[in-house]
Structure 1
Amino acid sequence: MVMFFVRALIFLGSAAIGLVVASLMLPGFHLDWRSPLGFILAIVVFAVLQSVLTPWMSSVAQRNAPVLVGGIGIVSSFAALVVVALIPGVGLSIGEPLWTWLAAPVIVWIVTALATVLLPMLFVKKEIEEHRADKR
């Protein structure tokens, strides 16, 4: 159960880093920093959608178009960003220029993937090793 919460926190942290990096890099990608609730809601909704859409889209692609399986991460990032941007009150908006809609999922996907690998190595490696040692 502890590992589930650790993984969830790592995924939320990686989603936050991905969204922040996209916000800093892209002119039409905006996170509302003035509203902490909207900012947190954007991160949580994106992370939940991403974690639900990726396996679902992967299974659909595996059955119907196996050649698309490799790009599912970017496609699910795009879908999650569209949904989050459409929800009123969530602290994320995507606008002009139009290429922002294409670049944002790629940036968020790359940064989130890197953060998902690097965050455990930076913060929880020692705790995980201690937890595993305690179980033995």
Structure 2
Amino acid sequence: MLTKQTLGYEAAEKVASWAAEKAAQMGVPQNIAVVDDAGHLITFRRMDGAKFFSIEIAMTKAYAAAGLRVATHVVAPKTQPGMPGYGAQALNRGKFTTLGGGFPLVFNGAVVGAIGVSSGTVEQDTEVAEYAARRFNEEFQ
């Protein structure tokens, strides 16, 4: 029998709130997805003005970060042409991305969930998601 911890609703809402606060400070409306350790959606926010096209992208970033157990942008160099992971973006029925903006949420050394952010530039998405993940670490470690 395996016992594990996973992200709950209240913590997921805090993570989404931190991301929304950071996005508002930056003036970049975002789609924010927070998932549990298995990539299942716990909470989602679409800020006024966020691109509807980016809704699925935010969820995919969170899903990928939870499954990969690393930030999505970290994997990107390994999936470029000529690298061992080339073509990985076509795996898992398209629910895989290396675009920046997906970060795992770690508690007691284990990934308990992840956040995905999309609607700004990749750099803006990454900054917002990283901020929320950092706040999670400060609050729950």
TM-score (norm 1): 0.39
Q: Which has the larger radius of gyration?
A: 1
Comparing both structures, which one devotes a greater share of its residues to helix? 1
